[in-house]
Each structure stands twice: as structure tokens, then as C-alpha cells.
Structure 1
Amino acid sequence: MDGHRVTQRMEWTKQRLARHLLYWLLLLTSCLAPLNHSCLVAQETAGDAVAAETVTRDDTAGDQVADDSAADDSEADDSADDDSTDDSATAIENAAAPVVAERNEAPARALAGVAEKRGPRRVTMIEFDGQIDSLSEQYLYRKLDVAEADKPDVLIIKITSPGGEVDATLNMAKRLRDIRWAHTIAYVPEQALSGGAILSLGCDEILVGPNALFGDAGPIFMADDFLFRHASEKFRSHLVEEVRGLASAKHRPPSIAEAMVDMSVVVYEVTSLSTGQRALMTQQEIDASANPDDWRKDNPVFESRDGHFLEVRGQRVVDVKVAQAVVANEAALKARFEPIESWEELHWSRFDTTILILNTGWATALLLIAGLIAIYVEMASPGLGLGGILALVCFGLFFWSRFLGGTAEWLEVVLFLSGVLLLMVEIFVIPGFGIWGAAGLALLFTSLVLACQTFLIPRTRHDLNQFVQSLTVTLLSLIAVAVAAGYLTRRMGRIPLLKNILLQPPGADDEIIAVNPNAPITESLVGGKWVRVGERGRAESPLRPAGRVRLGDHFVDVVSDGVFIESGELIEVIDVRANRIVVRRVE
């Protein structure tokens, strides 16, 4: 599912579902009230998000971005244009006129929103570190929800990031751009490169450290030879439109934002001959203006030279009208907002670390294997027992972490529950293995794969890589479950934990005594009835291998000798031990 379709309301709904599910599983009862926001900030500690990038510095190994086909997804966004590969002069002409008049007003706007409030201010700072992906996107949304509940006057996003996925970056930047409940500030102490720089453009102000790096947001992708290449013109044109819009919305030079993602763009310092106004413009912006001859080109911005993505450091970020000021450290940052009524910091917490761990490949495989084996054990011994509880916990944690990680929605849950229901129908209602069982397995498999990715159909190389990873983890988990199920079927009587709680078929080991017609008859009191070896009755439910039979006037839970027995067939008791009764089909 395209990351562009993720809305704020859907994320809020997903979080509510996840909180309901967590309480339900941990308390082993029916759903309780949803978790409140205080659960999200309890026991906060620092941590790092680890995931694959798709947009970052062109010299950073390990980055990934969408290839030519990624533009097909990006065009679905409400700000994309179907003609993004054509000449962008029309868009530049529309944007240039209102923006040029405000090019040099950005420094004068510093703290303008904060200054409107007199007296002590409430400040909240969110720490955002590491690479950008769907996990870090959901992390920021959770922290923004917590911050909004506190109603701060100033919201600071402390950004230290080398970049990441395009969709996640743009989604977060637009979320910050649309915030009206606080004055937003991006604080960059060390670096905000690629996606980190684009994310900063969504804030009302940008403050940087003395040596902070900013910019270099050129999109790249991994080619078939596993080398990184620059993205196509079609994709780059769409990204240019997005970053220019973000810059214009916050009164920053769109030309500088464009130069960060397009290495062919050169930005000039220009002066209006009629008014003396100075600005930063590209040659295309000059040509698209109402009076091109009125602009005199002075000096090009050195960092925007042809063949290089614009990257600036420290004071130069202020010089090119992107940042408002340079701050030496956090103490100097706090001093800018005196007097301060409260200063709250939201860091990477244990809660966020748990979500990150549960979204890793090995944790996913472990949850799937344990959950599927638990389902098998539960179906082999009907009734809500240890297997059912373990399955609820495993799959509850799986979908809960995927909801909060941004890769699962209601569709995956509905598919999974439908698959389980069809399997139960196949096992307990309709004899044999037919269309119901096959459909159930298909739905289970589909739901697990989709829950591990953010799209329905892969359209880019990055999507394809993620799809292969999801498919591999799911297939290996199913293979492991098949092997484990075969082992459990043969060795169930030898496993200490299972032999005391499940009905087990006899195996070819020393613990099961072979039936001997001449052996003395044994008997046991089960459910108020004495059951003897050799007694006959009829199966009242399918025995697969466990089920229920009728012996005389009593109904008794039994297990077959390893062969499935259909309802209504004649059976004979071949072994009785305590409350465990083994039967076979009478031919």
C-alpha cells in the first residue's frame, strides 16, 4: 500500500486498534479500554532506528530509492503532476512571483510565531535520529500525538539523519508543515542530509549547529548490477515539485530546495534593477518572471555548481536563506525561548525499541513459527488451552507491532482471521482437504506477507526487495512449522510439557504398549464412566486425531491411533491410561 495514502486519521485508528489488542492478549481476557497516551511515553530511553534508506547522500553505501517506476506511485499524490517530465517553466512561473518578494524576509521572521505569545512559553522537543523509513515515520507520529496533547507553544524537532525513504520523508514533512497547534522548529546540531534536509523544510524555522551539514538530497536507486545510480528525470521532477512547495510554504527560496535534489540546477544571487531587492533565483525562475530584464545576475551560489547537489554547512545554511540562525549548543537553544514555563523532551523509549525489535526479520520469523505451531497444537486438542493462548499472544504481538510500525492495517487482520476460520471449517466441519483448506492457507499466507510491507503490489526495485524479504521470511516460517508439526505428531508422547496436557496418538516408542488381543483388559474411570480396552462405540465428531466418541450412553474425548476417523464411523478402544483414551477404526 502506497505510503502516500497514509493519513493522520488512519494512523490514529491503527494505534487505537494496537492498544486494544495489546491489553487483550496480555490479560488473556476480552478487549479492554485502549491504551492512553501515557503508555507511549513511559520509561523513555535513547535508542536508534535501523532500516534501509532509499534517499540519502550520493556517496553513502546502503541507500535505496525508488527507480523509474516509483514515479507511478508518486503521481498518485495530490501534489504530483502527470506532466512532471515536461518543461517545468509553468510551475516555476506560478511559484516565483509571490516567493521572490519574500526571499530575504526569512531572517526577519525568526521566532515571529513565538513572539506573539507574551510570558513564559511551553516547549517540547522531539528527538529524531537515524535513517528514515516507515518505522521512524510512525515513531514521529506517536511523539507528535503526545506533544499535541501537552499543547506546547513551541515544538522543536531535533534532527540528526542521513536520509531515508522518499515517501516516509515527504509524509512527515507535510505533517510538520500542516501543524497549527504550535510553532515548529527544526534543530540540526550535526547533520540533516537528504531526507533529513527535506524533513526540516516542513518546519516554520530551522536552527543549525556551527558545523551542521544540510542538503544533498539527490535521489538514487540500486541498479540491476547492485550499484547505486541517480534517479530518472521523471522521478526527480516530481521530487523537485514537492521540495519547492515545502520551501515556498515556509517562505524559503525554492531555488535552494531544488538545487538540493537536482544537480543540474545553478542558483544565482540576483538584484532587481528597479527596486534594488536581492534574491536567490535559478535561470529558469528569472526567465519565467514578469520582467526578466529587471534581474541582474551577480554571483552564483558556489555550492549549487553544475554536477553537484547543494550541500551547505553551519553559517552558510543561514546565508542561503534556509535557516534562521546558528546556535552553539542546546543551552544556547534554550536561551532563545526564555522565559520558559516548561521544557519537555521526548526521546526514543523502550516502547519504541520494542516495536523496532518486533519488526526485525528474526523476531517476525520467531513469532510466526511459534504462533503457527501453537495453532496446530490447539487444533490437535480442541478447546481453549495452552496452544490457543500462545497463538493469540504470538499473532497479537505480530500484528500489534506491524500496526505501530506502519506496515499493517485492517485488511491484513481480516485476511488472517478469515484464513483461520476457513481452516477450522475444513478440519472440524467438512471432511477431507479441499477448497476450504486451500483458501484458508492462501489467506493466511497473503495476510502475513502483506503485514510485512507497505504496499500491495511491488512497483519499484526497493518494493521488490522488500517483497522478496517478506516472502522469504514467511515461506521459511511455514517450512519450519511443517517440520515441527511432523515431529510433534510422532513424538508428542515424549515431550514433557505436551504429554500431560494434550491427547496424544500412540507412537512407535516404548511408552506406548502395542495392542495384544490376549493381553489383560485394562480400564479407567473417565468422566464418571469406566472405559475398557476393547469397548466399541461411534465417533460423534471427526477424529483428527482428537475428537469425541460415544461409548454406550456417555460421550468421551479420545484420540485416534494416528489415522483420521470421520464422524459416525465405528471405533474400538485400544489403550486406556488415566484420562487418555486411544481408539482405532473398526474395519
Structure 2
Amino acid sequence: MRHIIAVFILCIMMSGGISEKIVFANPQPVIVIHIKGEIDGGQAALVKRAMVDAESKQAKAILVEMDTFGGLVDSAVQIRDMISQTPIETICYIKNRAWSAGALIAIAHQHIAIAPGGSIGAAEPIPTTEKTIAAVKAEFSATANQKGRNVKVAEAMVDKTLGFPGYAQPGQILALADYQAIQVGYADLSAADRSDVLKYYGLADYEILDYQLGTQEKLAGWLTDSTVKSLLLSVIFLAIFAEIKTAGMGVAAVIGLFAALLFFGSQWLTGVAGWLELMLFISGIFLILVELYVPGFGFWGISGIGCIALSLFLTLGGNMAAVTMLSFSLVIAIIAFLAILKFLPSSRLWTKIILNEVETVQAGFTSSHDYSSYLDREGIVVSLLRPAGVIEIDGVHLDVVSEGQYIEPGMKVKVVSVNGSRILVRRV
């Protein structure tokens, strides 16, 4: 019985030692990023978060599971850059499709696996202008060349005038099915699920860490929508106009700062905005405050607006698209500001927050005492008039001014003029 117990304990120790060796044999995790649906700023924020964790955890590999019809080119380029620049091994697993912007992200990986029935390509940009086609085609071509893939295939995915022999005629945009992608070297294998992909690349025994869209990334995706960004910019400009008009920190300033927080926060999450852009914006706000409280003949205010405009321009990409969005938002802000100046004073909202009653003389209000009853009356000087001083009329002390000369106390004077609270006297 003792022998049986000893053998049993020995087996437990051995199994514990073996499992311990397995755990520590592959301590590096495999980061799995799920990109599903439209490519936008939220997806870029997700990839950025996963990339930061992958580097801090010294991940063995990054596996991107993709199923997308495409999306925003600028967000796809951001993701492409992050994937291309990481020193960690990258694998893209196309579960169903990687079209348009998704195709650019896929070919940025070192390895590509595709599910049976999956497809990649169909990346013709919208709007389909010569300029946009040339720009996107260059991105695809450079990415394919960097990863050692056939450049002609990547270009045919964007420019339908090229075609690719055996797969797409000139005039047809190139999209590859799973087996075709393998034939042209745009996929290493066809895999039914993730486990097959991990096994093929020797990653089956590694810890898996999944990264999916969270609330933070979803909010970033919504805030990076072009319409929302333009609206936030208009609110920022409108707040600046309002504060300059009112020369103070009021409700408009709070609303503007909140809009700026949303704008820069979303761009920070997606990796677009850095410290330079943020510091320029803060400097611009500071300079505008200096203009409000320190006379500078407009120098501080103009410098502040310039810093803010430059920070927004750089955050939006520093290109013509950024100029277009800034110009459009500025025009909207100017129209809204002029409309507020014209219609707000007569609106119901304005009458509720602004006091409309006027304290008039007809209503019995006066700004000072009425001294007109003392006109042509005489009094005695109480204190030296030089020329201002005090006199007494019927026991009432009055602050008066002489016509210019000094008048000694005890002298008799006469009130010759009353203008509001100013009483003019002359020596009798």
C-alpha cells in the first residue's frame, strides 16, 4: 500500500513539474485582434491599444482576425502603419472577407491565412477620381512591395483599368477568392478556424489574449466620423468667437473646451494627435486669455488663434483634406455666430435668461438724489472749498463745488447750478 501511495505522489509531482515546464516554456502570449465591420477610428484605437500591450508583454505574435467590407482610408492607413512598423510577427486571418480598406490592412501583415470561401481585394476608392485612385494605389503598391508580394496584384485591386491576367480583365476590379489568393501568393493557407492558423505557424501552445472593440473604442469611432469632427470644430470656433465678443470666460468657453476635449481625446485614442498638437492648442487658449486681460492690440489674440488653427490642421492630417474640413467648419461657425447675434436677443430663450426691466425716471427710479430744490438758496461754508467742500443749508450738509476760487469756512454762498449730484456755488 505504501508503494502505491509513493508512486501516486511521485506521479503528481512529475505531472506538476511537467505542467510547470509547459507554462514557462512559452511565456510570451499571442495577441488576437478582432476587426469586424466598418474600418474607422474605433478600429484604429483598438489596434493601437493591442499593439501597446503586445510590446509591453513581449508578445510572440499578433494575429488579426478580419471580416470587413472596408471603411475609411485614413483609418486603414493608420492601422497599416502600426502593423508594418511593429517588430512582432504579424498574421492576418481573413475569416470571410477583407475588401477595400481591409485589403490594405491584410497585405501589411507578414503572413496571411484565409478561410474557405473568403476573399480579398475590391479596393477601388470612393470617390473614384484620378487623384484618389493614384494615392490609394500607391499605398497598396508600397505595402505589397514591403512585404515581398506581387505589386501588380495589389495595384489591380485598386485600379480596374489594369486588370490581372487570368483573374481580372482590364475594366474589372480584382478580388481574389481563397484559392486564388493562395495561387498568387497573397495567402499562405486556407484555414477553417483560428486553431488551424495557430497550429500552422507553430503557435498552438501559446497563451491567447483577445482584443475586441470596447466602449472606449466605439466612442472613438463615433467621434472620428467626419461629420462629427466637423461639428466639434464648428463648436470650438463658435466658442472662440463668443468669448472674444463677450471678453470673458463664460458658458461658451466651457462648451468649447468640452468640444475640444472630445475632439483631441478621440484623435489621441486613434494615435493621430500627439503632444505637439495638444500643446499648440493649449498655448492658443492661453494666448487668447492674455489678449482678453492684457492690452496687446490684437497680437496675443491673433497668435492664439493661429496656434489653435495649426494644432487642428496637424491633428486632421496636415493635408488638403484638413484645410477643406477646417474651412467648412469655420464657415459654419461664422454663420451660426451671425445668426446668434441677430436672432438670439429677440428669442424666448433670451428673455428668460436676461433681465428686460428698465429703471426709468418715469417709473420712479433715479440714479442719485434730487438736489434741484436747493437751487438759488444760500448756505454757510463748513469746510474750505478748494474748490470742493461742504456747506450747510438749513442744517443739511451738502457736498458742493465752487466756481473755481477758494472760499473760507464761515462765508456765505449761494447755489447757482444743480446738475444731478453736482452742486455749484458762488460766494455771496
TM-score band w.r.t. shorter chain? 0.5 to 0.7
Q: Does 1:454 align with 2:317?
A: yes
Equivalent of 2:235 in 355, 364, 369: 369
Kept after mapping to 2: 8 A contact 1:415/1:444: yes
Letter in 1 for 2:32: M
- Aligned pairs for 1:214-363 within 5 A: 214-217=120-123, 219-220=124-125, 222=127, 228-229=128-129, 238-239=138-139, 241-248=141-148, 252-254=149-151, 256-261=153-158, 302-330=166-194, 332-333=196-197, 339-360=204-225, 361-362=227-228
Aligned to 2:111: 205
Q: Does 1:472 align with 2:379?
A: no
Aligned to 1:429: 294
Letter in 2 for 1:446: A
Kept after mapping to 1: 8 A contact 2:40/2:224: no
Aligned to 2:416: none
- In the TM superposition, what whole-angstrom CA distance separates every residue of 1:217-259 from its partner, at most 9, and x where no partner exists? 4x5563xxxxx356699658745751441341xxx45554455
Equivalent of 2:302 in 419, 427, 439: 439
Structure 1 residue 374, shift from structure 2 partner = 8.8
Distance 1:367 1:188 in 2: 37
- Judged with a 3 Å threshold, the aligned counterparts in structure 2 of structure 1 residues 430 and 311 are, in CA distance, closer, same or farther, namely same
Q: Secondary structure at the match of 1:127?
A: strand
Structure 1 residue 158, shift from structure 2 partner = 1.4
- Judged with a 3 Å threshold, the aligned counterparts in structure 2 of structure 1 residues 303 and 422 are, in CA distance, closer, same or farther, namely same
- Judged with a 3 Å threshold, the aligned counterparts in structure 2 of structure 1 residues 421 and 257 are, in CA distance, closer, same or farther, namely closer
- Judged with a 3 Å threshold, the aligned counterparts in structure 2 of structure 1 residues 481 and 318 are, in CA distance, closer, same or farther, namely same
- Judged with a 3 Å threshold, the aligned counterparts in structure 2 of structure 1 residues 242 and 364 are, in CA distance, closer, same or farther, namely closer
Kept after mapping to 1: 8 A contact 2:244/2:292: no
Distance 1:416 1:119 in 2: 46
Kept after mapping to 1: 8 A contact 2:230/2:326: no
Distance 2:369 2:53 in 1: 66
Kept after mapping to 1: 8 A contact 2:46/2:211: no
Structure 1 residue 159, shift from structure 2 partner = 1.9
- Judged with a 3 Å threshold, the aligned counterparts in structure 2 of structure 1 residues 164 and 467 are, in CA distance, closer, same or farther, namely farther
Aligned to 2:29: 122
TM-score (norm 1): 0.48
Distance 2:72 2:62 in 1: 24
Distance 2:277 2:108 in 1: 32
Q: Secondary structure at the match of 2:336?
A: helix
- Aligned pairs for 1:118-197 within 5 A: 122-132=29-39, 136-163=43-70, 169-170=76-77, 172-181=79-88, 183-197=89-103
Letter in 2 for 1:397: L
Distance 2:136 2:228 in 1: 35
Report 1 or 2 for greater relative contact order, CA contacts < 8 Å, sequence distance ≥ 6: 1
Q: Which runs of 5+ in 2 are unaligned?
A: 1-23, 371-421, 423-428
Distance 1:533 1:318 in 2: 98
Kept after mapping to 1: 8 A contact 2:264/2:278: yes
- Judged with a 3 Å threshold, the aligned counterparts in structure 2 of structure 1 residues 325 and 375 are, in CA distance, closer, same or farther, namely same
Distance 1:229 1:371 in 2: 32
- Judged with a 3 Å threshold, the aligned counterparts in structure 2 of structure 1 residues 177 and 236 are, in CA distance, closer, same or farther, namely closer
Kept after mapping to 1: 8 A contact 2:116/2:192: yes
Q: Secondary structure at the match of 1:190?
A: strand
Distance 2:136 2:108 in 1: 19
Distance 1:346 1:173 in 2: 17
Identity %: 19
Distance 1:386 1:356 in 2: 28
Q: Secondary structure at the match of 2:316?
A: coil
Structure 1 residue 187, shift from structure 2 partner = 0.7
Aligned to 2:11: none
- Aligned pairs for 1:100-111 within 5 A: none
Structure 1 residue 328, shift from structure 2 partner = 1.8
Structure 1 residue 186, shift from structure 2 partner = 0.1
Distance 1:375 1:449 in 2: 16
Distance 2:270 2:68 in 1: 19
Kept after mapping to 2: 8 A contact 1:418/1:440: no
- Judged with a 3 Å threshold, the aligned counterparts in structure 2 of structure 1 residues 265 and 471 are, in CA distance, closer, same or farther, namely closer
Kept after mapping to 2: 8 A contact 1:373/1:484: no
Distance 2:246 2:158 in 1: 58
Aligned to 2:262: 397
Aligned residues: 345
- Judged with a 3 Å threshold, the aligned counterparts in structure 2 of structure 1 residues 220 and 490 are, in CA distance, closer, same or farther, namely closer
- Judged with a 3 Å threshold, the aligned counterparts in structure 2 of structure 1 residues 488 and 430 are, in CA distance, closer, same or farther, namely farther
Letter in 1 for 2:263: F
Aligned to 2:19: none
- Judged with a 3 Å threshold, the aligned counterparts in structure 2 of structure 1 residues 428 and 172 are, in CA distance, closer, same or farther, namely closer
Letter in 2 for 1:369: V
Please say which structure displays the higher CA radius of gyration.
2
Q: Does 1:514 align with 2:363?
A: no
Kept after mapping to 2: 8 A contact 1:164/1:195: yes
- Judged with a 3 Å threshold, the aligned counterparts in structure 2 of structure 1 residues 160 and 474 are, in CA distance, closer, same or farther, namely farther
Structure 1 residue 157, shift from structure 2 partner = 0.8
Structure 1 residue 313, shift from structure 2 partner = 0.9
- Judged with a 3 Å threshold, the aligned counterparts in structure 2 of structure 1 residues 473 and 129 are, in CA distance, closer, same or farther, namely farther
Kept after mapping to 2: 8 A contact 1:245/1:254: yes
Q: Secondary structure at the match of 1:345?
A: strand
Distance 1:375 1:220 in 2: 38
Distance 1:130 1:470 in 2: 28
Distance 1:520 1:165 in 2: 66
Kept after mapping to 2: 8 A contact 1:192/1:213: yes
Letter in 2 for 1:162: F
Letter in 2 for 1:189: K
- In the TM superposition, what whole-angstrom CA distance separates every residue of 1:508-560 from its partner, at most 9, and x where no partner exists? x23x4335696477xxxxxxxxxx889xxxxxxxxxxxxxxxxxxxxxxxxxx
Kept after mapping to 1: 8 A contact 2:156/2:173: yes
Distance 2:91 2:283 in 1: 46
- Judged with a 3 Å threshold, the aligned counterparts in structure 2 of structure 1 residues 533 and 238 are, in CA distance, closer, same or farther, namely farther
Q: Secondary structure at the match of 2:208?
A: strand
Structure 1 residue 212, shift from structure 2 partner = 0.7
Structure 1 residue 170, shift from structure 2 partner = 5.0
